[in-house]
Amino acid sequence: MSISIPKGTRDFSPEEMTKRNYIFDTVKDVFKLYGYQPIETPAMENLSTLMGKYGEEGDKLLFKILNSGNFLQNVPAELLSGDKILPLTNRISEKGLRYDLTVPFARYVVQHRNDIIFPFKRYQIQPVWRADRPQKGRYREFFQCDADIIGSTSLLNEAELLQIIDRVFEKLGIDVTVKLNNRKILGGIAEIMGQSDRLTDITVAIDKIEKTGLDAVKEELRSKNITGEQIKILEPILSLSGTNEEKLNRMEEVLSCSETGLHGIAEIRKIFNYAEQLNISATVELDLSLARGLNYYTGAIIEVKARDVDMGSICGGGRYDNLTGIFGLKNVSGAGISFGADRIYDVLSAKNLFPQNSLETTRVLFVNMGEKEEIYCLQALQAIRNEGISAEIYPEAVKLKKQLEYADRRNIPFVVIAGEEEMASGKFLLKKMYDKSQKELPLRQLLDELY
């Protein structure tokens, strides 16, 4: 019999759980520090909630749940021909696994809008599922850690998100660069090129500048029927250099005819200004090629990369003015970020940044010497656990060597042995596994040694 789990999914061992919890707890503590509150949503959402929210490709990557019972009932025969997979899917499946935490959050806000106190700051740490092709570092089940504030247009929110990013990665010891852009600047660029409706093509091309270079980007734009004239307007933007302030000054000139573009520059200036006043320690830099999640971001766009590790983005987010609009609630602006727990895990592993000895293990193991000794030990165990110290007794009176081996492999630092002699004197033999020292102690002193 072959025993396995679906490809792209993972089991987490106690050791991995400890490391993952270290990340989750760090992120959660910072979210709370800034007043964000936890919510959770179901793993399954109605497909009507999910479909059409992630583009055509996203719809295909949704895990869909087969209806219970006779799912073919009332399905017209012509849908079963094998070339009508999409309409057939809609008939035999009405639920899907969540693809991210953003759309369920938007659905939550609309559904519970009468109970929510706005501005609403929520965090959510849950797994999401995507039927992506599994590959190194990309899973079909992975965790997202999201914080969003909804119901406020203030740029202070963006500044706060930068503070949260800064504090999380400072705590984790990861040196990061925060890249910042603004959708309105991108909009302004398209506008002055006379190509407002080609924003996606233009940003996709700009996005490749680092990888492929200026000439390749120009070539791509030409292939998309952007004229030489228009590309000329774009060129100074592509080869922008200098400090953030220098870049912004240059862009202000370039975009002087675009109200939207100037608005974007004013916004990003204000955010940089906050970052400076708040002594954000991470490097925050303007990156006009940043266009992630263009579909729903309307203002700030944020992306975080670890320095000196080739890992892609480990956190991202931005401002969206119309997230709940897809569910019929207009004019509610929000901003949020999402930490990628799996990539952060990989960065911490690669740079050996997990805290030492953080494995949540038992503090003391009592050796099992037999029935009589058991009761003597069990009473001591109660007292130790009453102090909040995790303790166990080996469940069977097997050879001492085997029991010590168990303590060793489990990284349990203390072992207690109590045989007839100790019972007679009311004491316990404490053995420290890390230096092999041992001494006989009464219970009270034993407790003191275990803290």
**Subset of 57-116 contacting a copy of itself (CB under 8 A):** 60-61, 63-66, 68-73, 75, 80, 82, 85, 88-89, 92-95, 97, 107-108, 110-112, 115
Q: Does 401 bind a copy of itself (CB under 8 A)?
A: no
Question: What 8-state DSSP symbol labels residue 352?
Answer: T
Render the burial of 168-197: b for 16+ CB within 10 Å, e for the rest: bbeebebbbebbbbbbbbbbbbbbbbebee
Find all residues with CB under 8 Å of 130, minimum gap 6, and list them: 61, 62, 63, 99, 140
Q: Does 42 bind a copy of itself (CB under 8 A)?
A: yes
- Least separation, in Å, of the C-beta of 379 and a copy of itself? 8
Nearer to a copy of itself, 59 or 287 (CB): 59
Strand partners, 178: 284, 304
- Least separation, in Å, of the C-beta of 303 and a copy of itself? 22
- CA-CA distance, 178 to 176, in Å (whole number)? 6
Report the length, in residues, of the chain.
451
- CA-CA distance, 255 to 188, in Å (whole number)? 6
Strands 334-340 and 313-320: what pairing?
Answer: antiparallel
- Least separation, in Å, of the C-beta of 125 and a copy of itself? 11
Q: In the range 334-373, which residues lie near a copy of itself by CB under 8 A?
A: 360-362, 365, 368
Nearer to a copy of itself, 1 or 424 (CB): 1
Question: What 8-state DSSP symbol labels residue 334?
Answer: E
Of the residues 24, 44, 196, 419, which one makes contact with a copy of itself according to CB under 8 A: 44
- Least separation, in Å, of the C-beta of 165 and a copy of itself? 14
Of the residues 136, 401, 409, 436, which one makes contact with a copy of itself according to CB under 8 A: 409
Q: Does 150 bind a copy of itself (CB under 8 A)?
A: no
Q: How far apart are the first and last CA of the chain?
A: 47
* # chain residues binding a copy of itself, by CB under 8 A: 105
User: Phi/psi at 278 (nearest 5 deg)?
Assistant: -90, 5
Joined tokens for residue 10:
């993972």
Nearer to a copy of itself, 212 or 273 (CB): 273
Nearer to a copy of itself, 29 or 210 (CB): 29
Joined tokens for residue 118:
């706005």
Of the residues 51, 175, 177, 406, which one makes contact with a copy of itself according to CB under 8 A: 406
Nearer to a copy of itself, 171 or 224 (CB): 171
Q: In the range 369-388, which residues lie near a copy of itself by CB under 8 A?
A: 374-375, 378-379, 382, 385, 388
Of the residues 349, 358, 390, 425, which one makes contact with a copy of itself according to CB under 8 A: 390
- Least separation, in Å, of the C-beta of 259 and a copy of itself? 23
Report CA-CA distances (Å) from 8 to 127, 130, 131, 148. Answer: 13, 9, 9, 28
- Least separation, in Å, of the C-beta of 315 and a copy of itself? 19
Find all residues with CB under 8 Å of 61, minimum gap 6, and list them: 54, 99, 130, 131, 132
- CA-CA distance, 81 to 53, in Å (whole number)? 28
Q: Does 54 bind a copy of itself (CB under 8 A)?
A: no
Q: In the range 160-199, which residues lie near a copy of itself by CB under 8 A?
A: 160, 163, 167
Nearer to a copy of itself, 112 or 439 (CB): 112
H-assigned helices in 137-182: 156-172
- Least separation, in Å, of the C-beta of 305 and a copy of itself? 24
Nearer to a copy of itself, 54 or 63 (CB): 63
* Number of other residues whose CB lies within 10 A of the CB of residue 42: 11
Burial (CB count <10 Å: 0-12, 13-18, 19+), residue 103: buried
Nearer to a copy of itself, 233 or 383 (CB): 383
Identity at 143, one-letter amino acid code = F
Q: In the range 10-39, which residues lie near a copy of itself by CB under 8 A?
A: 10-14, 17-18, 21, 32-35, 37-39
